Amino acid sequence: MHLDEILKLDIKLLVAFVTIMEEGSVSRAAERLGVTQPALSKSLQRLRELFKDSLFTRQAYGLSPTARATELQDMIQPILHSLSTLMIPSELNLKTLKRRFKIRVNEADLETFIEPLLAELHYQTPGVRLSISNCEENIFDELLAGNTDLTIMHMADTPGNIRSKLIGYMSSCVIISEANPLFNKEEVSLDDLLKYNTVTHHLPSHSSSAFVATVSKLKQQGYAVEPTLETDSLMVAMQAVKRGMSFFAPRSIGELFLEITRNKNNFYPVRVLPMPKELLKADTNGGDRPVQICWHERSNNDPSHRWLREKIIHFMRESPWIKATI
């Protein structure tokens, strides 16, 4: 490829050439292009110099193309057609879409959209595959590296090179079983809960998370909020509750937990209680966690990526656990 030669080509010159070929007249071509005849004549002169051919000869009825001009027209027409398609947004065909999306999301948020999303993919995009796993502390690095397409997190802010959208807010709860001495209370204080062992599910460790800021405030007030057990396994959390631990969890996990334990043999009765008032007071959002969907800038205008994230946002906002405002 001779770049110096290619750089001499001007798209406007090529358009002028094709228009003159089609009109057979410089004056008519100039009128069609919205330029003056002298300006188009200068363009024609540049074309003759560029292709080292007269390109057109004057006849009584107008301009007659040379053999070289006819040859050039056959080559230039598909080039201009290809260039014009660059300006047309690509159409998304869901039925033929073949793509694998990697999503990082914790179970609390996954519960709000996975069922309707899987149904949508089954009927609308049979060629789409999903890879879903838990969020990691280095999730932004994964987005930057292209190892993750989307992530859903409980945080208020994201780095400048990461796109994000606030989906809504999710409330939290405390789950205890009959094995916990606090079982018969209608509500519990933070002091009550901290007297006994606690378990947290998907404890956010990122410095931007709302949970980290709340814990920091509580520590300043003298509360030692240190879970006995941290786990990303719902089965481990269930066994911990069975043995009397208090379970801090988003509301969606609380409902899922109740549904599972309700049909599980040899399990103590379980209750879902509101979060302690002391914790809600220390939390900027009153115990409601902001839920953000995040993606890298390079995927922002990708039609299939946009389709997927808009579907997830829609399903999450339709779920009973996501509040639009706090």
Could you tell me the strand order of the sheet in which 246-250 lies?
229-231, 198-201, 246-250, 172-177, 270-273
What is the predicted pLDDT for the residue at 86? Answer: 72
CATH class of segment(s) 3-85: mainly alpha
What is the predicted pLDDT for the residue at 2? Answer: 60
Contacts of 255 (CB under 8 A, 6+ apart): 111, 272, 321
Domain covering 99-165+296-321 assigned CATH 3.40.1280.10 in the classification? no
Q: Residue 261 is encoded by which pair of tokens?
A: 């334990």
Domains 99-165+296-321 and 172-287 share a fold: yes
Q: Is 56 exposed, middle or buried (0-12, 13-18, 19+ CB in 10 A)?
A: buried
Predicted TM-score (pTM) of this structure: 0.69
What is the predicted pLDDT for the residue at 161? Answer: 78
- Provide the residue type at 290 as one letter: P
Q: Which CATH architecture has domain 172-287?
A: 3-Layer(aba) Sandwich (3.40)
Contacts of 262 (CB under 8 A, 6+ apart): 270
Q: Where does the chain show beta strands of DSSP type E?
A: 56-59, 62-65, 99-105, 128-133, 150-154, 162-170, 172-177, 198-201, 229-231, 246-250, 270-273, 289-296, 322-323
Q: Say if residues 155 and 206 touch (Cβ distance below 8 Å).
A: yes
Element (H, E) at 67: helix 67-85
What is the predicted pLDDT for the residue at 319? Answer: 93
Q: Where does 237-312 show beta strands of DSSP type E?
A: 246-250, 270-273, 289-296
Residues of the chain with pLDDT under 50: 1, 204-208
Domains of the chain by residue range: 3-85, 99-165+296-321, 172-287
Q: Measured between alpha carbons, how far apart are the two ends of the chain, in Å?
A: 60
Q: Say if residues 31 and 59 touch (Cβ distance below 8 Å).
A: no
What is the predicted pLDDT for the residue at 205? Answer: 47
Q: Say if residues 113 and 319 touch (Cβ distance below 8 Å).
A: yes
Q: Residue 110 is encoded by which pair of tokens?
A: 């996954």
What is the predicted pLDDT for the residue at 207? Answer: 47
Q: Residue 275 is encoded by which pair of tokens?
A: 């979060």
Distance CA 295, CA 1 (A): 37
What is the predicted pLDDT for the residue at 45? Answer: 93
Helices 303-318 & 114-124, crossing angle to 10 degrees?
140
**Dihedral of the CA atoms 138, 209, 212, 247 (nearest 10)?**
-90
- Provide the residue type at 161 as one letter: N
